[in-house]
Amino acid sequence: MSQSAPQAAPQPGNEIEIVAALVERACAAMAAFADADQARVDEAVTALAWSIYEPGRARELAERAVADTGLGAVDSKIIKNQRKTFGCLRDLMRAKTVGVIEEDTAKGLVKYAKPVGVVAAIAPSTNPAATPVNKAMMALKGRNAVIVAPSPAGAGTTTATVDYMRAELEKIGLPADLVQVLPQPVNKALTQSLMEAADLVVVTGSQNNVRRAYSSGTPAIGVGAGDVSVIIDSTADLKDAAEKITMSKIFDNSTSCSSENQVIILQDVYDDAIRALQDAGGYLATADEKEKIKNTLWVDGHLNRKVIAKDPDVFAAEAGLAPEAASAKFFIVEDENPGPDTPFCDEKLSLVLTVYKAGDFDDAMAQVDTIMDVCGRGHSVGIHTQDMDHARKLAEDLATVRVLVNQAHTFGNGGSFTNGLPFTLSMGCGTWAGNSISENLNYRHFINITHLVTEIPEDKPSEEDLFGDYWAKYSK
């Protein structure tokens, strides 16, 4: 395996020098990659994909991620390492990012793709392997170089992942330094120095890192906090909805920002929907157990790392739930009046699903909106329904980027083989969440575009064409 280039261990005060050396090597690698044609670029992207998709490495990195961070489930992370990578590769192989990428003869425009430069990719502890590869694939698709800043908890996994990417690049005769990683031990000062030295910062993870990226002085793309709410409508197929919610909720022990945190159920199907969720593996907590869950999940106002993203038997034992809870897939907590005074409508990063009852669809939508005031505005919502007018109303009226209809949210929100969203592990949430993009992060965010502009026949309407209706209604 190609090892990451040796670096001196970060010491207070020498972060700038360490980052400068990494950037220098990244620029040299980019210079060697600058003349690559589309086929060669696509080979590089495929090499990165294979670095984690290869079954042995997909499992090894999944096991290491869980061991290093204590978050998630190995089997889920294997799926994530492979499925997200495969989907991203599919998307990237269909895109053109070298030379002329678009011609519009009617407008006299020709568009040329150019690199953005050295990309600083900030990775979260929840996805210390899949996210770095996902971002590196998009970065190299634009002929950029990338330097990954891992989370301290996931640094070992991320470093091993980068080593695999570097080895695959060397195998096909490309500079390994197209992909690098900050040396351990990673600290905030080192990550900050990287953000300030790079040409573009792409942040997935804590909102603190997102804010630091936006204030770094470097162009930055950040993502918003998750806290997904899903409506079970009166016309929903309750069995299908419960199975999809369960499959999504339990994936990787709810580490995904796209995992359902709340379900709002219309009152006319409420009892049947609860039974369907129980049949799918949910354990309905009693009032006393709800209090135990609250006191276990939040300690001094913060999520308890002893139980977040942990297996259900671990959570049940820590919370002191009934013996049968240990064999459940997830835990259902009934709540009412969502808002800042109840923590159960906040993001939980655990196998706890909060359920609210709504009198009608408008009430359900209002509850979702209230929940987004607590956390998750801009990110995404879902609905299980046969009434597309209700789905369209959510899309028309709510401040959210994505509305998923009859889907397992975790598997659909970041791209799916059965919807049209690009595969990604980074979801932009628009200005509602303080983000610069309102779509799934994709290759287009890693290229600059030069416009060649030639003259066309004059396209100038008359004053009457543009002002006529206004003059007729309001006069001149």
- Active-site annotation, residues: 257
**How far is Cα 83 from Cα 359, in angstroms, rounded to an integer?**
39
**Residues whose CB is less than 8 angstroms from the CB of residue 438 and which lie 6 or more positions away in sequence, other chains included:** 378, 401, 428, 429, 430, 431
**How far is Cα 127 from Cα 140, in angstroms, rounded to an integer?**
20
Angstrom distances, CA of residue 188 to CA of 86, 145, 182, 208, 309: 32, 22, 11, 11, 24
Structure tokens given for 298: 């939040």
**How far is Cα 116 from Cα 138, in angstroms, rounded to an integer?**
12
Q: Are strands 109-115 and 99-104 parallel, antiparallel or unpaired?
A: antiparallel
Which residues are bridge partners to 373 per DSSP? none
Q: Beta strands of 406-446 (E only): which ranges?
A: none
Asked if 323 contacts 276 with a C-beta cutoff of 8 angstroms, the reply is no
Asked if 77 contacts 59 with a C-beta cutoff of 8 angstroms, the reply is no
Q: What burial letters (b/e) apply to 290-320, b meaning 16+ CB within 10 Å?
A: bebbbebbbeeeebbeebbbbebeebbebbe
Look-up of token digits 């600083």? 120
Give φ, ψ of 178 to 5 degrees. -65, -20
